[in-house]
């Protein structure tokens, strides 16, 4: 485990300078390039530039951002414990994960993206190319995993693709080499696929007894032709913890829509779907999420844009944090 100690530094207004973000820059890489320890200066950077950041705290390439004078950073540099770890599953560009907090320390999250392997899930044509549910659900799930790891959680990716990683493309190429943790071949039969995932999660749950454990399942709906839907959530009607998890993420989405789309009413819901195989048979409290309808042109904008996929992952993760930090048990 990595230990992150928080440091807050008062920044004199006369020690501010502006620097340009280059293509591919994130806050951490920009700060590091200019001699700042990212874990110390991350929050200060956001405060200085909150009007210039994307809603997911991403930078605009070519944008000018305020940072403290570099001499201030050098004068106050301290030896700090490393808070960075690499996870190849996220791909070369996104492999490094910076610890931003310990808010989810001693928690375990199992993440399942829908379909995979021989089953791409719902498919649709977009600008002459086929897009598939499993690729977009997996990309959002990877981004979510990275968010949870950054807050100290232990994360198990149940459906895995060792060579995809997080992708910043609109069209995600379809492949069929996904496996189930750790390296199980995914069966063609639908019921056998669900049974395989259930058994893996339940075995891991038993091994981690005594820890705070939750399961998140991510799908892209494809049942209704052309109908746009807001993100919605399912849970088991007998699981108070599952209901609270789904409700916490749902409430987070309501607040985000109110902030970023004030003229549009959020219609996503959370409700009981105890009849679904994974909800009925897995042991951890579960939230089952549908992030949009792959057949809807409006919903396609939600998950084809990589920035929107990042926002989805960020908002889901914020809901997960809300659930954990307001728990009663």
Integer Cα distance of 55 and 202 in angstroms: 36
Going by their DSSP bridges, the two strands 212-221 and 107-113 should be labelled as: parallel
Structure tokens at 64: 């000018």
Strand partners, 213: 108
Predicted pLDDT at 91? 95
The tokens 């920044």 sit on which residue? 11
Strand partners, 130: 125
Q: Give mean pLDDT in consecutive 10-residue pieces for the chain, a chain of 329 residues.
A: 32 62 79 73 86 84 81 43 82 94 94 97 94 97 97 96 96 97 96 98 96 96 66 85 93 87 74 89 96 88 92 96 84
Predicted pLDDT at 81? 43
- Least Cα distance to 286 among 216, 194, 204 occurs for 216
3 state DSSP class of 3: coil
Predicted pLDDT at 4? 29
The number of beta carbons lying within 10 Å of the beta carbon of residue 21 is 21
Integer Cα distance of 133 and 263 in angstroms: 29
- Mean per-residue pLDDT of the chain: 85
Q: HSE on the CB side for 288, CA within 13 Å?
A: 19
The number of beta carbons lying within 10 Å of the beta carbon of residue 280 is 13
| pTM attached to this predicted model | 0.75
Pair 312, 302: CB distance under 8 Å: yes
């Amino acid at each position: 485990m990595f230990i992150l100690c928080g440091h807050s530094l008062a920044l004199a207004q006369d020690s501010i300078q502006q620097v340009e973000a280059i293509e591919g820059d994130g806050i951490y890489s920009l700060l590091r390039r200019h001699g700042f320890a990212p874990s110390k200066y991350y929050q200060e950077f956001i405060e200085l530039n909150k009007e210039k950041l994307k809603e997911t705290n991403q930078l605009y390439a070519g944008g000018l951002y305020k940072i403290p004078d570099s001499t201030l950073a050098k004068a106050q540099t301290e030896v700090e414990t490393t808070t960075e770890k690499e996870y190849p599953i996220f791909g070369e560009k996104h492999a490094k994960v910076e610890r931003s907090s310990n808010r989810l320390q001693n928690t375990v999250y199992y993440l399942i993206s829908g379909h995979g392997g021989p089953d791409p899930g719902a498919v649709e044509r977009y600008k002459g190319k086929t897009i598939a549910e499993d690729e977009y659900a997996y990309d959002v799930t990877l981004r979510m995993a990275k968010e949870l790891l950054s807050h100290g959680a232990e994360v198990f990716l149940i459906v895995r693709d060792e060579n995809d990683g997080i992708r910043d493309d609109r069209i995600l190429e379809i492949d069929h080499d996904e496996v189930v943790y750790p390296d199980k071949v995914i069966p063609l039969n639908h019921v056998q696929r669900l049974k395989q995932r259930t058994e893996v999660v339940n075995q891991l749950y038993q091994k981690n007894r005594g820890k705070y454990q939750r399961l998140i399942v991510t799908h892209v709906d494809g049942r209704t032709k052309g109908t746009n839907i807001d993100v919605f959530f399912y849970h088991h009607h007998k699981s108070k913890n599952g209901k609270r998890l789904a409700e916490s993420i749902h409430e987070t989405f309501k607040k985000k829509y109110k902030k970023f789309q004030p003229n549009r009413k959020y219609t996503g819901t959370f409700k009981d779907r105890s009849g679904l195989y994974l909800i009925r048979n897995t042991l951890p409290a579960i939230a089952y999420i549908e992030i949009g309808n792959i057949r809807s042109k409006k919903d396609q904008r939600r998950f084809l844009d990589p920035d929107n996929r990042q926002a989805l992952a960020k908002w889901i993760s914020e809901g997960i944090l809300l659930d954990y930090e307001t728990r009663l048990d």
